[in-house]
Amino acid sequence: MLLKSASFALIVVALTACAFAQNDSAIVVLGQGAAPTQVLVVDPPNDGGEKLDVSWTPTAQPGFDILKYEVLAAEAAEGPFKVLAEGDHKMTSSVITSGNGLRLEHDHPYYVKVVAIDSTSLAVPDSTNPDSVVVRFEKRLRRSESAVAGPFVPRAAWFNMNRLNILLLVLAFYFAVMFMVRRAKAGANIQFRRIAGIDAIDEAIGRATELGKPVMYVPGTQNIENIQTIASIQLLTSVAAKAANYDIPIIVPLNRAFMVTVAEEAVKQGFLNAGRPDAYMRDNIRYLSDEQFAFTSGTTGIMMREKTAAHFFLGAFYAESLILSETGFVAGAIQIAGTANTHQLPFFVVACDYTLIGEEYFATSALVTRDVEMMGTLKATDYMKAFIIACLLASLVLEMLGVQFLRSWFQVI
Amino acid sequence: MEFFWISIAGLCTVAILSFLYSDNPLYKVAEHFFVGIAAGYVVCAEFYNVFLPNLWRPLTSGSDYWLIIPLILGIALFTRFSDELGWISRWPMSVIIGTYSGLAVIGFASGDMVLQVQASLIPVFEPATISTFSSEPSVLNFLQIFRNPLFTLGLICVLFYFFFSVEHKGGLRHIATTGTTLLMIGFGAGYGYTVMTRIALLFDRFYFLFVEWLKIAA
């Protein structure tokens, strides 16, 4: 008995010493009955301090048929405890995060306990006859709780070292972009193949000019934080400049209130670039609605009533893509679409005269604007694609030989 | 009263569907209702669900004075209405575009690039497919052996289509054409799948019109 107690005390002292020796605090607590005998809580590295790694040792005592374990946490030792994880009888560890009304935040103390739930038979006296000595056995669930462990304070890591591969790839891409931009600025001849979409833009504006009808430009249905919207706004300036050159109005229906400011700025700049600031009409930049289908019905209404002759759907689109492009088709307009939302591309492909598929859309934006930075970026993305193709070809052989270096290097945890 | 609101919804549905015939006054009324109500609703929802809990209440209760920065940036956006001070609105725009672009880089790099590349790094032949074919010879099991090489070669062809530095001429044209063909097959499958779900939505509307509203069908 003395030896057993001494062993436990030794473990407690050793683990407490570990807790003080490092940031990831750890402690051992002892439980009773079916309760786990040791609960070890560790602050996992490489996270934002919103997780705790809890492990425990199931009871060594025989006779307990554990059904499941629950991991509970609270902000105070006395509770209230909230269940943050649960699992079957085989579970001996779990990573707990916010949930069930309890938010796990960095630099806040938390208390943890583990509950083992087993089934037991309980003798129940016959309630209908108090004098009877006969009892019946009922199956009841029994919760055996470990002692409360804590406090544990999760810490936020400055760096997630598991994502070093992403940092390296982003840096490699960054330096490739910088190198190509510098070359472009130095006057190096950066060549790209001709993209048919660029000709299609000119053709569409030319058609609208012939008919003397306005052009409609929809820069997607997402806000300016979407990278496709940013590319679309840059393209909008060029399209607006072309429209200004031919002296035809450009209507821009918008799905986001904030986009009004951005679109006004882009169209105004386009008219300025064309030397026609006087032709800029603020009323043609129209905020319709943030609601997806209200915006769609408003836009289709403009198509039918103002008889727009050329439609540009360039940006991030969702379910409205088919309705917009079909209505435009029915209205007889020439239509150019471009999006990186792959699920919407089929609708544009069937209903539009020309569709810029995925990255073609970004490339068109760069080639139309002839922006040195964008062209440098486009060249760098080509190098990145060549690198990916090389990785794909290498993996065909390496994976076959059982070498999983590439695969594990690209793993994101 | 419930029938009244269901009738309003039914009439609006019919008015919107009338666009299939042509642009008509009924559709115009429904469209203007829809756009107007949605715009008004969004203003209220943003005010009560975003502005008050995320900015105004924490600021006025003194729990987070840092929120004064987004408040100033938000007010600066309204200078747009002034011809003299309109330039100030470019500052908050720059902050928003810059911040979101920076945040998007990591999301795209991990989700759209690294994860997809990792999932595409596969051996030329899966030993398991060969052993399955040898134990259970069938056409399907035979085709399974070529799944990986076809996938990788198809992926390379599609990637090559998006290679802008090289003209798609001569032999390279065939690689790009294969890539385009594969893309179109994918788009065709996606189109068919989505049209099916749209038809399901149409049935749902018909169910509402004929069963819930008019009650002329069971």
pLDDT at A132: 67
User: Does A290 sit within 8 Å of B39, measured CB to CB?
Assistant: yes
Domains of chain A: 10-152 (2.60.40.10), 192-370 (3.40.50)
- Nearest one of A301, A297, A303, A220 to A256, comparing CA atoms: A220
Task: Enter the pTM of the model.
Answer: 0.76
A217 close to A313: Cβ distance less than 8 angstroms:
no
Separation in Å, CA of B32 to nearest CA in chain A: 8
Weakest-pLDDT range from A109-123, A131-145, A297-311, A364-378: A131-145
- The DSSP element (H or E) to which A287 belongs, if any, is strand A285-287
Q: What are phi and psi of A43, to 5 degrees?
A: -85, 110
With beta carbons under 8 A apart, name residues in chain A contacting B205. Answer: none
C-alpha to C-alpha distance for B87 and A259, rounded to whole angstroms: 16
- Nearest one of A320, A338, A326, A328 to A200, comparing CA atoms: A338
Query: Which residue among A166, A194, A359 places its CB closest to the CB of B114?
Result: A166
pLDDT at A20: 37
C-alpha to C-alpha distance for A283 and A214, rounded to whole angstroms: 13
CA angle at residue A246 from A240 to A249, to 5 degrees? 55
Give which of B35, B73, B122 to mutate to test A binding, by max A Cβ within 10 Å: B35
Residues in chain A: 413
| A window 151-190, beta carbon within 8 A of B | 163, 165-166, 169-170, 173
User: Does A412 sit within 8 Å of B118, measured CB to CB?
Assistant: yes
With beta carbons under 8 A apart, name residues in chain A contacting B30. Answer: 297
> What confidence tier does A348 reach under pLDDT thresholds 50, 70, 90?
very high
User: Does A412 sit within 8 Å of B164, measured CB to CB?
Assistant: no
- Nearest one of A391, A264, A172, A343 to B198, comparing CA atoms: A343
- Nearest one of A123, A150, A164 to A25, comparing CA atoms: A150
> What confidence tier does A2 reach under pLDDT thresholds 50, 70, 90?
very low
Supply B185's token pair: 């097959």
User: Does A406 sit within 8 Å of B165, measured CB to CB?
Assistant: no
State the ipTM, two decimals: 0.84
pLDDT at A1: 44
Domain ranges of chain B: 1-63, 123-218
C-alpha to C-alpha distance for A346 and A230, rounded to whole angstroms: 23
Tally DSSP H helices, then E strands, for chain A.
Answer: 11, 14
Supply A139's token pair: 């199956």
> What confidence tier does A3 reach under pLDDT thresholds 50, 70, 90?
very low
Count Cβ–Cβ pairs < 8 Å, chain A vs chain B. Answer: 170
pLDDT per residue as tens digits for the range B28-60: 999 999 999 998 998 999 999 999 999 999 999
pLDDT per residue as tens digits for the range A149-181: 878 888 988 888 888 888 899 899 999 999 999
pLDDT at A130: 65
Query: Which residue among A166, A382, A392 places its CB closest to the CB of B110?
Result: A166
pLDDT per residue as tens digits for the range A314-346: 999 998 999 999 999 999 999 999 999 988 999
pLDDT at A101: 83
**Cis omega before residue A151 (within 30°)?**
yes
Q: Is A254 exposed, middle or buried (0-12, 13-18, 19+ CB in 10 A)?
A: buried
A21: pLDDT strictly greater than 50: no
User: Does B123 sit within 8 Å of A399, measured CB to CB?
Assistant: yes
